[in-house]
Homo-oligomer: A and B are copies of this chain.
Amino acid sequence: MPQQSPLDIPEGDPFGPHNLPYGVFSTAGEERRRIGVRIGGYVLDAGAAAAALGSPYAGLLGQPSLNPLLAAGRTAWKDVRRALTAWVTDPGHRPSVEPHLLPLEDVVLHLPYEVADYVDFYASEHHATNVGKMFRPDGDALTPNWKHLPIGYHGRAGTIVVSGTDVVRPAGQRKAPADPAPVFGPSVKLDIEAEVGFVVGTPSEQGRPVALADFEEHVFGLFLLNDWSARDIQAWEYVPLGPFLGKSFATSVSAWVTPLEALDAARVAPPTRDFPLLPYLDDSGADRPGGFDLHITVSINGQEVAQPPFASMYWTAAQQLAHMTVNGASLRTGDVYGSGTVSGPETDQRGSLLELTWNGRDAIELTDGKRTFLEDGDTVTLTAWAPGADGTRVGLGEVAGRIVGTR
C-alpha cells in the first residue's frame, strides 16, 4: 500500500483537479505573500512547486499577487492550468509537488489581486423587479432601459476586502418619508447582496470597445461577492446619481478565483430575451452560451436562508463587459465587476434580505431569533457550486463576513 498523499483527492471533492482555483496566501511562519492553488483540503504553493519542477512559469507564479498572471493573457492562463493539472495528477510529479502542499487551515488567505476599477451591475430581472415593486410602487417595476442594456455603476475599489474580514456597520444619513429632516446614526437596514464577481486579466485600449466574442480573452475568472448594502442610507441618497455611501463601506470577495476554463461544463443559455438587442449586446449567435449554472447558497450564522440560481440572470458577464467598454472605456488588469444581486423567481431564491423580508415587513426565522436586517455579530456566508464534466461539481470559494458595531 502506498502512503496516503494529499493528492489522493476523494472522488466527488468539489476542489479536485478539475477545479484548481487561485488565491494568495501566507503562513504564520512565513509572512511573504505567494500564489496558492487549492486542491482538496490543501493549498499548493504554486511558485515553489513551479521552481522545484523547473517550470517556465516559476516567475509568474512566484508573485505576491495574481495580477502578473492575469496580465499575461489567455494563452498563458491555459498553459499554466495545463501545467498545474499535470503537477497534481501525474504520480511522477508527486515527490516534487507534495512538499509544497499546505493544509488549508494552516494558511492565511489575502485579497488575491489588486483591484483596479470596480463596477457593479443589476442583472437579475427577479431582483430588479422586486426592488422596483418595493421602491417605486406607483410605476413599472423595471425602468424602460432595463431590458435594453445591463444597468451598472461604479463602486469603490478601495474597500473591497477578502472573505473573513469583519465589516464595520456604516453610519450615515437616513430619512423616513415622515421625518421632517434626515437623522444620523448607524444603519438600521444593513443587508447583503449575493453576487458573482469577474476579474479582468487582459487590458484594452481607451477608445476601443471590447466585443462580446472577446469575453474570454479579457476575463480570467469568477468568484463569489457580497455587496454589503445599507438600505436606509441608500434610499435617502441615491436619487439622482445612484448608490454611494450605502455601498462604499465594504464589498467582500472570495479568496479564491475560479478560472473560466474550470467552468466549461457550467455554461448555460441565458433567459429568452423579451426585446431585440442592439448588435453589440446580441448574443443569439454566440459560439457558446453566456450564462453560468452556479448554485449559490446564502447562510446567516451557519443557517441557510436562500439558494439563488445564477443561471436565471438576464444579462451575461460577456454582455456586461461589452457594454462597459462600448463607449471606449478601457479595461485594466484587476478590474472587477459584479453581476448584481442574484435572485431567482422563487421566494427562497432571493439574494438579499431586502427581498427575503420584503423590506423588513416579513422577518425570517433563525434558530437564534428573527431577522429583518443584519445584527451586530451576524456572520453571512455565501457558497456555491457549478456542474463540472462527467457529473462532478466545481466548488467556488466561500465569501464570509461578520458584522461588527459602528466604531
Residues of chain A whose beta carbon lies under 8 Å from any beta carbon of chain B? 116-119, 122, 136, 143-145, 148-149, 151-159, 161, 168, 170-173, 175, 181-182, 184, 206-209, 230, 233, 236-246, 248-250, 275-276, 278-280, 323-324, 326-332, 335, 406-407
Contacts known (A116-B158, A326-B172); A184 close to B278, Cβ less than 8 A:
yes
Contacts known (A207-B407, A280-B184); A155 close to B154, Cβ less than 8 A:
yes
Contact of A329 among B118, B144, B148, B156 (CB under 8 A): B156
Contacts known (A148-B182, A275-B181, A407-B328); A159 close to B206, Cβ less than 8 A:
yes
**Do A148 and B181 touch (CB < 8 A)?**
yes
Cβ-closest 7 pairs across A and B: A242-B242, A168-B207, A170-B327, A154-B154, A245-B327, A241-B242, A153-B241
Smallest Cβ-Cβ distance to A334: which chain B residue? B158
Contact of A230 among B158, B207, B327 (CB under 8 A): B327
- Shortest distance from the beta carbon of A202 to any chain B beta carbon, whole Å: 14
**Do B161 and A206 touch (CB < 8 A)?**
yes
Residues of B within 8 A of A168 (CB): 206-207, 328
**Do A145 and B239 touch (CB < 8 A)?**
yes
**Do B206 and A143 touch (CB < 8 A)?**
no
Instruction: Please indicate which of the listed interface residues A119, A143, A145, A323 has the most CB atoms of chain B within 10 Å of its own CB.
Output: A145
A347 CA to B407 CA in the complex, in Å?
46
**Do B249 and A329 touch (CB < 8 A)?**
yes
**Do A152 and B241 touch (CB < 8 A)?**
yes
**Do B149 and A329 touch (CB < 8 A)?**
no
A100 CA to B172 CA in the complex, in Å?
50
Residues of B within 8 A of A153 (CB): 153-154, 241-244
**Do B244 and A170 touch (CB < 8 A)?**
no
Smallest Cβ-Cβ distance to A122: which chain B residue? B241
- Shortest distance from the beta carbon of A324 to any chain B beta carbon, whole Å: 8
**Do B242 and A243 touch (CB < 8 A)?**
yes
- Shortest distance from the beta carbon of A284 to any chain B beta carbon, whole Å: 16
Contacts known (A275-B181, A326-B171); A244 close to B206, Cβ less than 8 A:
no
A148 CA to B157 CA in the complex, in Å?
26
Residues of B within 8 A of A245 (CB): 323-324, 326-327, 329
A406 CA to B280 CA in the complex, in Å?
15
Residues of B within 8 A of A144 (CB): 175
**Do B335 and A158 touch (CB < 8 A)?**
yes
A175 CA to B154 CA in the complex, in Å?
22
Contacts A154-B155, A181-B275, A245-B326 known; list 10 others, CB within 8 Å.
Answer: A117-B157, A119-B244, A145-B236, A145-B237, A170-B327, A184-B280, A208-B407, A241-B243, A242-B243, A328-B406
Q: List 20 A-B contacts (CB under 8 A).
A: A117-B158, A118-B154, A145-B237, A149-B236, A153-B241, A153-B242, A153-B243, A158-B330, A158-B332, A158-B335, A171-B209, A172-B327, A173-B278, A181-B275, A184-B278, A241-B242, A242-B243, A248-B329, A249-B328, A328-B407
A153 CA to B159 CA in the complex, in Å?
15
- Shortest distance from the beta carbon of A291 to any chain B beta carbon, whole Å: 22
Instruction: Please indicate which of the listed interface residues A122, A136, A239 has the most CB atoms of chain B within 10 Å of its own CB.
Output: A239
